[in-house]
Amino acid sequence: MLLTQIGYAVVYFFTEAAFSQGLSPHIFVSYRFCLAGLFMFPFAYFHERNLRPKLTLALFLEITLLSFIGICLTLNMYFASLKYTSPAFVASIANIVPSWTFVIAIILRMEIVDVKNPRGIAKILGTLISLAGVMTITLYKGPALQSLWGALIHIKRLSVHEKNWVKGSILTVASCISWAIWYILQATTLKKYPAQVSLATWMNLIGGAESAVFTVFLQHKASAWSIKMFSVNFWTIVYSAITSAVFVFIQLWCMKEKGPVFVSVFNSLQTVMVVILAYFILGEKLHTGSILGGVLVIVGLYVLLWGKERDQPYIKSKEQSSAHNADTKEEAASADQKEEA
């Protein structure tokens, strides 16, 4: 999950450069996920040929809804907000996703929280510490630390007049809410369709296609879909598609093993990664507020992960207890039937 956040952090700067070159965020999402699905299709087909459960109509419609919420809706809003704001701002606000996921998981009883147990307290405390770190990065700048050297990479940025921070903020927050819902739904769908690679392939292909249909209604110029080979826009789409193909699979595997909160909490590291890359590679100023907030985010992450790690023995013992109770009931029912006979 750490590697996925580094890869996703790089996507921020690729997309900002591409958007400044005129690439539409909606066209970017459409190309990215259709291409990612095509990358994954052969591997999913051959690797999970004997593992995939039967894809019923109800399950296909569920995956279609999952793709719409997670890719078509969430990521179109998310990358559109990046066009109107900045990578650091979007990455900072995106860290409310773990908190939303945690709250929704508690409401749906998918997350175990025992306030009388150190494990439960750690999860609540870790979430609050990470949220405090995000708020620190977002609201407090503090003195700036100048870069020790010039920018290694220069990105042509949109002017202040081309940005719309109010619109961008609304889109970012809305995308984070739907993102949290997406994490919860993924965990539910994985129980019915436990083939992670195949599910990731379906989500990428269907989500990319849904985004393309949505974009057609917004973008009426056919020329906007034309991408010059080996341009910034081309490499942005290719790199982002590869990250989607690889990282969505990793995310689903971790989702199956650890649950939705474990996966979503790693989003907090994106903010730290974006700030570090912006400072060392793009030569941007590093504010003390970003350093302090980054430390809080990491501390909160480790506290929450400690609480999550304590879940595993509890869950296993609970499953064993449930299985034992079920066996006992079956034996009792069988004994009653024999007595009646």
At 159-171, the pLDDT tens digits run 544 567 778 878 8
Which of the four pLDDT bands, split at 50, 70 and 90, describes residue 38?
very high
Q: What is the pLDDT of residue 325?
A: 53
| Biggest CA-to-CA distance, the chain | 88
Asked if 234 and 15 touch (Cβ cutoff 8 Å), the reply is no
At 293-307, the pLDDT tens digits run 778 877 887 787 788
Radius of gyration of the chain (CA): 22
Which of the four pLDDT bands, split at 50, 70 and 90, describes residue 102?
confident
Q: Would the CA dihedral through 128, 129, 131, 135 be positive or negative?
A: positive
Instruction: Give CA torsion, residues 193, 196, 198, 202, to 10 deg.
Output: 80
Q: What is the mean pLDDT of the chain?
A: 78
The amino acid that residue 66 corresponds to is: L
Q: Which residue has the tokens 């109770």?
A: 325
Higher pLDDT pick, 333 / 323: 333
Specify which residues 145 forms β-bridges with: 286
**Maximum mean pLDDT: which of 32-36, 108-112, 124-128, 270-274:** 32-36
For residue 145, report the phi and psi dihedrals to the nearest 5 degrees: -105, 120
Q: Would the CA dihedral through 79, 82, 83, 84 be positive or negative?
A: positive
SS3 call for 326? helix
Look at residues 107, 102, 103, 98 and name the one whose alpha carbon lies nearest to residue 131: 98
Stretch (H or E) spanning 144: strand 144-145
Residue 18 CB neighbour total at 10 angstroms: 26
Q: What is the pTM of this model?
A: 0.73
Whole-number Å distance between alpha carbons of 248 and 322: 32
Where residue 112 falls (left for φ over 0; alpha for ψ -120 to 50; beta otherwise) is beta
Asked if 66 and 78 touch (Cβ cutoff 8 Å), the reply is no
